[in-house]
Amino acid sequence: MKLYQTLEKQIKKEPNFVSDNGEIKKWVVLNKAQNFDEELIGLLLEDSDLKEKFFIQVKDIWVFKQNLFIQFLEQKNYLNDSYTQFKNKVGLTIDGKHLKQRNEVSLVWPFKDCILEGGQSREEDKREEIFFNEVLAQDEITELLDPKVLTNAKRFDKDGEHHFDQFNRNEKGVITDNLIIKGNNLLVLHSLKKEFAGKVKLIYIDPPYNTGNDGFNYNDRFNHSSWLTFMKNRLTVAKLLLRNSGVIFISLDDREVHYAKVLCDEVFDSENFLSDIIWNSTKSVTNTAIISNSHTHTLVYFKDKNYYTKNRMEFRLQEDGKGFYNPDNDPRGVWKADPFQVGGWRPNQQYEIKNPNTGVVYKPNEGCSWKNDFTKFNELLKDNRIVFGVDGNAGPQRKRFLSEALERGKVAKTIWDDLETTTNGTQHLKALFNTQVFSNPKPEGFIRRIIELATTENDIILDYHLGSGTTASTAHKMNRQYIGIEQMDYIETVAVERLKKVIGGEQGGISKSVNWQGGGSFIYLELKKYNQAFIEKIEEAKDEKALLQIWEEMKAKSFLNYNVDIQKQEQYIEDFKTLNLQEQKQHLCELLDKNQLYVNLSSLKDENFECTPEEQKVTQAFYQLKN
């Protein structure tokens, strides 16, 4: 607390940082910190304790630790407004500290169950204050990340929807069914650990970008540090699910990619970074922009890059046969002429080559070499693998036959400007649903290239930001096993319905190019809700009367935080009524024990949670538990 008091005292020396009633203007200070304001930095440097905490000395220069200062400021409640005063009255504190002031931030819990609301089809669908950030200190997390009970299980195949019977498993006991799971993605990932740790070959995610204009609704409180915490929690457990030969692709925009790169270097180790792929995601031009944005970043990390250093042929695209021909009727089939000159000077690859047709003598350019030594060159020449251009009048080139190219595959480049765009993805979905159901979805062709690069048939692919279901639909058509996770309701109205159409043989996206004829199946599952059901009721409440009724239900049926004093809540109910609707919603959400958002596996047989025989059956089958 001493540092907190010191900082507060120092900040209040500047009148512009203080409101008329003496409160610190927290967001003004945050903005100043983000812009390296000289006035703010000068105040901090004046105090030795603050200087030691928020600066690092490099030779004779003191460097401001901006991220640390912002993180510290966000963890402290400097806004002593009416809502804060109300929380003080009702006792949402431990040892005199607010829950948001205790220990390091471990999790960020937006109002929408730790994920951002997405999928609006029009920009005007956005509304203010979509969610609140609730921060859980490490010592508040007890059962939060435990495996959860599964519910509402059903199988979908060409004959329609069926009640869950059983999971199919291979000889090693690993589930081989495609899975679509509804629930908080962080908690689903932790629930997958027991069955799928070290089993997933490819993870692709297209997470919320933190822009406010990409179909996900943000308010100013979900800033870079909160977004990075949100990402790190999930990436850390996702890494555990990857095989040693696994790879993750993360699509991002300019705003967050550089922050995410630093985060991913920490989670996956910078040595395992492969590339930042640039995809030309739109062909249209925004004439009102200073520079029209037409690309998307995709960060690529290996679980262990050493594996691919030794097995790089596994990370190749299929050769499409374009540019291969057979003008000399070579019995070995069509071929493509590759350059015979390579960069780098090698003494045993410096020699003269004479064009037999023109008599012109060729040598490697300065700083370059021929691709092979002289002995190998003569072998290739005798084998009719050396050509001198289409008309025989050019320098040496080497034949590469399609049969060889198909076996070796094609090296991927970092610029992908030959694929469909988000417009194609939107048109595909619109054709499936006769309306626009999702904004700017990735086209199946983009996901196909990623799957082609990183997997072979029957490998497991995971997407824990499933959205419209493009990853799952593409994987299904390419005969890969997939796990898709999404908590929003559109998982049922968009992703599931889309996969049903895929099973039925729909011919959009990559269907024709892979000769998709339909078939296959998937199992749909949900995490069994408990306190999460109350959160959803709170979200949907339209007025104070509805919230007060929910509070009555919460007292009777929910799990409240252990430090909640119900009598104090009742004592100050009139103060509660003075809050605005959003503050009332936030308060009720904070009363709920987040360890009980969903029913924990350990409570499967607990009568208080009323797990049905069907729920017990699917849960025991998933985790391979005995009755």
| Residue 414 exposure: Cα atoms within 13 Å on the Cβ side | 6
pLDDT reading at 92 higher than 70: no
Q: Residues 267-283: pLDDT tens digits?
A: 999 999 999 999 999 99
Q: For strand 179-182 and strand 522-527, is the pairing parallel, antiparallel, or unpaired?
A: parallel
What's residue 489's pLDDT? 84
In the chain, the percentage of residues whose pLDDT exceeds 90 is 60
pTM exceeds cut of 0.85: no
pLDDT reading at 35 higher than 90: no
Q: Residues 206-236: pLDDT tens digits?
A: 988 655 443 333 333 445 666 777 788 899 9
pLDDT reading at 93 higher than 50: no
Interhelix angle 254-264/224-241, nearest 10 degrees: 50
Average pLDDT, the chain: 85
Q: For strand 160-163 and strand 150-157, is the pairing parallel, antiparallel, or unpaired?
A: antiparallel
Determine phi and psi for 515, rounding to 5 degrees: 60, 45
Tokens of 77: 């409640």
What's residue 526's pLDDT? 97
C-alpha 131, offset from chain centre: 19
What's residue 242's pLDDT? 98
In the chain, the percentage of residues whose pLDDT exceeds 70 is 85
Residue 265 gets which letter from DSSP? I
Average pLDDT over residues 372-389: 96
What's residue 319's pLDDT? 87
All domains in the chain, ordered by first residue? 2-79 (no CATH), 98-143+531-596 (no CATH), 150-316+412-527 (3.40.50.150), 335-408 (no CATH)
In 186-334, DSSP assigns E strands to 200-205, 242-252, 273-279, 296-302
Taking a C-beta distance cutoff of 8 angstroms, is the pair 287, 240 a contact? no
CB atoms < 10 A from the CB of 490, how many?
18
d(CA 127, CA 129): 7
* CB neighbour class for 277 (10 Å; exposed up to 12, middle 13-18, buried from 19): buried
pLDDT reading at 517 higher than 90: yes
What's residue 224's pLDDT? 64
pLDDT reading at 20 higher than 50: yes
Nearest to 336 by CA among 409, 406, 401: 401
Nearest to 248 by CA among 410, 420, 106, 453: 453
d(CA 402, CA 412): 17
d(CA 569, CA 592): 13
Q: How confident is the model at residue 85 (pLDDT cuts 50, 70, 90)?
A: low
* Top-confidence residue, 95 or 363: 363
3-state secondary structure of 551: helix
Q: How confident is the model at residue 522 (pLDDT cuts 50, 70, 90)?
A: very high
* Top-confidence residue, 31 or 548: 548
Nearest to 79 by CA among 30, 36, 23: 23
pLDDT reading at 559 higher than 70: yes
Q: Which residues of 48-77 are buried (b: 16+ CB within 10 A; e: fewer)?
A: eebeebbbeeeeeeeebeeeebbbbbbbbb
What's residue 230's pLDDT? 79
Average pLDDT over residues 502-507: 98
What's residue 111's pLDDT? 34
What's residue 132's pLDDT? 40
pLDDT reading at 151 higher than 60: yes
What's residue 15's pLDDT? 85
Q: How confident is the model at residue 142 (pLDDT cuts 50, 70, 90)?
A: low
Q: Residues 47-65: pLDDT tens digits?
A: 988 998 899 988 888 999 9
DSSP 383-401: TT-EE--TTS-S--EEEEE
pLDDT reading at 140 higher than 60: no
What's residue 78's pLDDT? 45
What's residue 23's pLDDT? 75
